[in-house]
Structures are given as C-alpha cells and as structure tokens.
Chain A
C-alpha cells in the first residue's frame, strides 16, 4: 500500500536462542537491503526487542567511549554494544547503575572470533530503564512467540524453518522447553511475592 519501505518488526527472542544463532542473510542484492539473523526456531530477525536485567556495564573503548552492557534474561545473557554512533543508548548505559531492568530495541550484529565461532550481540537503537512489570510481560511474550515459532517449525511453507534446518544442527524442542521453564520461573517468583522487586524498580525508575 505505501511506497515507503516497511519497518522491520522487532522479534521477541530469548538470549539463549539469540546467542545460538549465527547465520545472517539478505533477501535482495541491493547493497542497502536489510540483513537478517536467522533464528534457530525458524524466523528472520532484522530487529529485536528485549527486556532484562542490566547486570554489568563497562566502557571497553580505547579512544572513544564504547559501552558494553550485559543484559540477563531467564535463559542467558545478551551483549549490547553502544558507541559514538548510538549516542542516546551510550549515554543511557553510562548513566545507569546496575542492576536495573532495561528495555532494548536494537539490531542483531554478528562477528566471527579468531577461533571461527560466531558471536552475536545487539546494537541498540534505544535503551530505557523500565519496571519489573514490563520485564515480566516481556518474558511472557518472548515465551509465547518462541513457542509459536517452534509450533510452526514443521510447516511445509515455513521457508525460514527450512533454512534453519540447513544452517543449524539445533533442536527446536530445546527452545520449547526453555520457554516453558522461563514461564515456570515467573510463576514461582509470583508465589514468592513480588516485593523483592521493589528495590530494583526504585532504582530503575530513578
């Protein structure tokens, strides 16, 4: 309908699946065509939205500031890098005191290490401090989306599932189990009482 290129949707993916991904591809030869990270559950991701706990931050830049943040979800750790070309995200990382709940919108980035393995990180478009309710909502959403992808993995028309089968040797069942475990974890925290989050909230919302 519109002539403007459509905006890429922000996928919901847990850290473990995100870090397991390594294959990137384009869908056209155009130099500026979007680059997609192939998720092991059979979906393409040009953008992700994640919410987790910022546990550490460090300026790893040499001359210029280059901030690395570790953001933890129920399944693992996202690495987020923000430098001079992401000034807003970099200044947010500079100002935040871990631990804090943060929401990140960003693009997947891959790089190959010396030993040939591929590391995946997030180049943030925005980082904001949020509360525990937002974090919990994200966990539920990420679990649902993961389970939906896993459920559609065997569909014949699912071209990204086909691609995932070719590119990866990973079991979709594992991600199903991981998503359910993340929800079970939330359910248990519910029973313990949400008060323990209060300290974090106060900080995150400063």
Chain B
C-alpha cells in the first residue's frame, strides 16, 4: 500500500501546478485499479495520469517527466519499465518472425538498445537514420540484456534533429588466462539465419549439416580481481593470432585435426595482457577493438603509486 501511496504523492506533485488533488483521492483511484481490477501498478499509474491530463487539458510533455521514466537507452536496468525516449534508428534488421513488423537498434546519447515493433500494434514504420520521439515504450529483459518493445499505445513523432549516438562499449583488460572449448577453427550451420556452432557436425536445430568454417576465440581476461569472458570474431581472431581462416584450414588439413588451430592460438596468446572493448552481450564482451599491453612498464611510476597504497 505504501507503494501506491508513493505513486499517489508523485502524481499529486506532478499536477500541483494544474490541478488541486489530494493524495488520498489519487491513491483511492490507484487502489481501485490495482486491487479491484488487477491492473499492474505501472499501467494503473499511466491510466490515472492520463485521466488527470484530460481533466487539466494538458499534453503529457507539459508535466515534464510525465508518468513514464526517462532513462537513457544505454542505461536500462529494469524489466517492464515504461519509457519515453528521443532516439535515432541506428539500424533496421530483417525480422525473423511474421509477427514482428520491425526490429533493429535504437540509440541515444547514452548508448544503444534493440527495439521490436509487432505487426499487431499496427504502427507507422520507422526509417533508418531518422530521429523520433517515442512515447510509451516498455522495456524487456532477456538473460540480462535489455530491449524495448513498441506497442499499440506507443506514439511516434519524427523529430527534426540529429542525435550523437553514445558508445556503450565495455572496455576490459587483464591477462588472457583461458581459451575455452569452441574456440579456434569451428563450423557453423549453413541454414539461413542459423549461425549455430556445430558439435561433431551437428546443429542443435537442423541436425547433420555441411558446416561452414569460421574462426573465433572464446577467451577469459582476468585482472586478479574479476574475470571477463570475451569473444573474438573471425576478424579480430585473425588480427589477434596472425592466422587467417585460410591458413587455419590448411593447418587443420595438414594435421587432419581442427584442434591444432586452437592449440596454436593458445601458445601464441595465453598469459599475455590485453585490453579489449566492444558491446556486452550476456556474459560476453564481443571484441570490436583490442590491443596487446606490451609496452615496457614504468617501474618508477608503479613504485610511486605502490608507496601510496
């Protein structure tokens, strides 16, 4: 109940310039929706706010903050949070399901996040590279990753401005202490839209297939305080190891064994220090850029720092 009371206080404060409300009456309306009609709190709050907006003859923006949170796209950390954002459509992807109208990447100053619009919501189409004011989005969480969903109530207004989309790349460094199985020369399922890594020539979705060779490294960077799992794709694996996909195939052919490739990679990279940066995806940082930390250490500076610990 105290939760509803807090929401009621917020709403009264929001309308303090426009309507003469009491916390009790607002709380009663919220309580009715939440406890009588089983409406989720966020939705109840929206609905109550909307009715007062009508009463005061106001647009949502006039409230400055409105009923929805304004959180940067790179800073999402709650599931099912209602949001208003001004964002740029960074990329549009090919929807993989008939129920999805549009899917892609939205960005604002704080970073980027995936968005999905469903066919059933019947919304106007977003164009890549354009900036929109989007109101009434809801966040979604899957395995620690946040995305936003557009829905029937979402309003879309094109905005005539450009946004410098923020870089929410993670940067981590440490010694490369492990290259995990599934690294080196691997085969991926060739089926459309399936890039699963084959296990003994089998795709977990499509069964026995004739896989396509690829390179990757699933590694662990460890700084003595924390571990970071990182994935180097083919391009960054080639840059890291100096071995191209073609060379790796030749090595495997000569040895009649694909595991020689990962073994060779381990010999050349384990125990060295690296700094990598790229987007975080679940447990992994997907490496966009990396550098080997092999400059001579500045022992004098280290000593000065150490004496201060």
Contacts and interface: CB of A to CB of B under 8 A. Distances in A.
B254 interface: no
Contacts of B300: 187, 190
A194 B302 CA distance: 17
A189 B298 CA distance: 11
B271 A104 contact: yes
A9 B226 contact: yes
A131 interface: yes
A73 to B, nearest CB: 14
Given A126-B266, A130-B272, A134-B271, A147 B224 contact: no
A145 interface: yes
Given A103-B272, A105-B178, A143 B222 contact: no
A63 B15 CA distance: 85
B273 A137 contact: yes
Contacts, number: 111
A201 to B, nearest CB: 11
Given A10-B224, A137-B273, A184 B175 contact: no
A88 to B, nearest CB: 7
B57 to A, nearest CB: 46
B220 interface: yes
B88 to A, nearest CB: 29
B interface residue count range (under 10 / 10 to 19 / 20 to 34 / 35 or more):
20 to 34
B71 to A, nearest CB: 20
Nearest to B177: A105
A167 interface: no
A81 interface: no
Nearest to B283: A2
B267 to A, nearest CB: 6
A118 interface: no
Interface string B278-309: 00000100000000011111011011011101
Nearest to B282: A2
A97 to B, nearest CB: 15
B259 to A, nearest CB: 11
Nearest to A91: B263
Contact of A133 (B267, B297, B302, B307): B297
Contacts of B297: 133, 136-137, 139-140, 186
Task: Determine the main DSSP class of B at the interface with A.
Answer: mixed
- In the complex, which of the residues B144, B307, B309 has the most CB atoms of chain A within 10 Å of its own CB atom? B309
Contact of B296 (A9, A179, A194): A194
A103 B299 CA distance: 20
Contacts of A184: 303
- In the complex, which of the residues B175, B267, B269 has the most CB atoms of chain A within 10 Å of its own CB atom? B175
Interface string B164-195: 00000000000101100000000000000000
B297 to A, nearest CB: 5
B270 interface: yes
Nearest to B175: A49
A103 B294 contact: no
A51 interface: yes
B227 interface: yes
A137 B293 contact: yes
A180 interface: yes
Interface of B: 144, 175, 177-178, 220, 222-227, 229, 263, 266-267, 269-273, 283, 293-297, 299-300, 302-303, 305-307, 309
22 contacts: A6-B227, A9-B222, A47-B177, A88-B263, A105-B271, A126-B178, A128-B271, A130-B272, A133-B297, A136-B299, A137-B273, A137-B294, A140-B297, A144-B306, A145-B225, A147-B306, A180-B306, A183-B302, A183-B306, A184-B303, A186-B299, A190-B299
Interface of A: 1-2, 6-12, 47, 49, 51, 88, 92, 102-105, 125-126, 128-131, 133-134, 136-141, 143-145, 147-148, 151, 179-180, 183-184, 186-187, 189-190, 194
The 9 closest A-B pairs by CB, nearest first: A103-B271, A186-B299, A187-B299, A147-B309, A12-B224, A128-B271, A140-B302, A183-B303, A128-B270
